[in-house]
């Protein structure tokens, strides 16, 4: 099995911690909330063994990649810029870019904004959808009410403190509650409660998660807090303004999509319709795969299937120059 190594690079003027493994065409893996490079631990070794150089950064505001204090420094332009700068810092011409959760949004938009640098794009959990005609926050209020979790995340302070009070417990409860082994996750919070009220303490951990895994996340989040990651959500409206020139834009590089059938993001969605919508907006979509009995933590819950799919996908593309 390939060895995972770590180093800190200067990316977009900031220190960025990366985990990397292997040699070959470059694959960049982008994590979501509230995670780290570690959410790709299985793919780092698996893809390296398949002949790729695999790099998973701690994204802006997480772990070994400290971010600015100001929330407006976490827009989609900043996050895509970090991936663009990372590809350059690694000495590559192009890369396969794959993301999970918020990382999917970054991956999709990297492919959209810089197709010259992206030989293929993969999304886990969050499908690509074009910029909506309505601003996102009013649309969420209309569809889900004021207590939808993303709307609650807009207010700095309360959820930051709630999650930071006990990082290990927060990680344990959040990852367990959004797993495919848990009851369906309700993203609408109780009016008189907090986010963790929807994430009960589990009787036992999901089979894919260990106390050692939780300790890795908790150590990093105890040091940094959760505000950097929450600031990604606090730019939803700003991102809508910034992406006005991309209205109804299509992704035109080869694409791949994976999600769990028990992921609250797509649960209850007609899979054929989801695939058809993706193909409308990602014109070179190779495949949509819905993984049975899998929740939101796609690449951790189904590591072998996700690694194999990414390896097959990356192998099918024109190889970029090796870094």
Nearest Cα neighbor of 14 from 95, 74, 76 is 74
pTM: 0.97
Q: Is residue 322 part of a domain?
A: no
Residue 315 tokens, joined:
């192998």
Confidence (pLDDT) at 180: 97
Please state the domain count of the chain: 1
SS3 of 233, please? helix
Give the span between the Cα atoms of 108 and 97, in whole angstroms: 8
Give the three-class secondary structure for 225: coil
| pLDDT recorded at residue 14 | 93
* Bridge partners of residue 53, in order along the sequence: 26
Examine residue 230 and state whether it is found in any structural domain, yes or no: yes
Q: What is the model's pLDDT at position 321? A: 45
Do the domain assignments include residue 323? no
Q: What is the pLDDT of residue 132?
A: 87
3-state secondary structure 94-141: CEEEEEECHHHHHHHHHHHHCCCCEEEEEEECCCCCCCCCCCHHHHHH
User: Does residue 320 form part of some domain?
Assistant: no
Looking up residue 161, the CATH number of its domain turns out to be: 3.40.50.1820
SS (HEC) of 133-182 = CCCHHHHHHHHHCCCEHHHHCCCCCHHHHHHHCCHHHHHHHHHHHCCCCC
Give the pLDDT of residue 323. 46
Q: How many CA atoms lie within 13 A of 19 on its CB side?
A: 22
> Is 125 part of any domain?
yes
CB 30 within 8 A of CB 98: yes
Q: What is the pLDDT of residue 320?
A: 46
Scan for tokens 């959209």, then name that residue. Answer: 112
Of the listed 101, 160, 213, 263, which one is catalytic? 101
In the chain, the DSSP E strands lie at 5-11, 14-21, 26-30, 53-57, 95-100, 118-124, 251-260, 282-291
pLDDT tens string 165-193: 999 999 999 999 999 999 999 999 999 99
Which pLDDT value is given to residue 319?
Answer: 53
The CA–CA distances, whole Å, from 17 to 163, 190, 306, 322 equal 23, 37, 24, 20
Which of these is catalytic: 17, 31, 100, 296? 296
pLDDT given for residue 322 in this prediction: 46
Task: Return d(Cα 210, Cα 189) in angstroms, integer.
Answer: 27
Q: For residue 215, give its domain range.
A: 5-315
In a domain, 321, yes or no: no
Query: How far apart are the C-alpha atoms of 247 and 83, rounded to whole Å?
Result: 22
**Ranges of residues in the chain whose predicted pLDDT is under 70:** 318-323
Inside any domain, residue 112: yes
| pLDDT at res. 300 | 98
3-state helix, strand, coil in the chain (%, to 5): 40, 20, 40
Residue 206 within any structural domain of the chain: yes
In the residue annotation, 101 being an active-site residue is answered as yes
- 29, with CB counted inside 10 A (0-12, 13-18, 19+), is buried
């Amino acid at each position: 099995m390939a060895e995972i190594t770590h180093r800190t690079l200067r990316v977009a003027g900031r220190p960025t911690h990366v985990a990397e493994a292997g040699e070959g065409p470059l694959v960049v893996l982008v994590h979501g909330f509230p995670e780290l490079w570690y959410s790709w631990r299985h793919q780092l070794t698996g893809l390296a063994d398949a002949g790729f150089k695999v790099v998973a950064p701690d994204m802006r505001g997480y772990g070994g990649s400290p971010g600015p204090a100001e929330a407006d420094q976490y827009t989609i332009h900043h996050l895509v810029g970090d991936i663009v700068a990372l590809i350059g810092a690694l000495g590559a011409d192009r890369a396969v870019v794959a993301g999970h959760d918020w990382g999917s949004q970054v991956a999709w938009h990297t492919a959209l904004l810089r197709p010259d640098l992206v030989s293929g794009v993969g999304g886990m959990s969050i499908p690509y959808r074009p910029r909506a005609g309505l601003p996102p926050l009013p649309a969420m209020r209309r569809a889900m009410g004021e207590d939808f979790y993303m709307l609650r995340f807009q207010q700095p302070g309360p959820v930051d403190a709630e999650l930071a009070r006990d990082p290990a417990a927060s990680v344990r409860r959040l990852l367990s509650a959004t797993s495919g082994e848990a009851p369906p996750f309700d993203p609408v919070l109780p009016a008189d409660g907090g986010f963790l009220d929807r994430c009960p303490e589990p009787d036992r951990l999901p089979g894919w998660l260990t106390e050692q895994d939780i300790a890795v996340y908790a150590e990093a989040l105890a040091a940094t807090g959760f505000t950097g990651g929450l600031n990604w959500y606090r730019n939803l409206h700003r991102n809508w303004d910034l992406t006005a020139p991309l209205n109804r834009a299509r992704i035109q590089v080869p694409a791949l999509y994976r999600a769990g059938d028990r992921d609250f993001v797509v649960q209850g969605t007609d899979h054929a319709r989801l695939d058809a919508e993706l193909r409308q907006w990602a014109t070179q979509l190779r495949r949509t795969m819905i993984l049975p009995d899998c929740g939101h933590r796609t690449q951790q819950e189904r590591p072998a299937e996700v690694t194999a799919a990414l390896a097959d996908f990356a192998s099918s593309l024109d190889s970029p120059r090796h870094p």
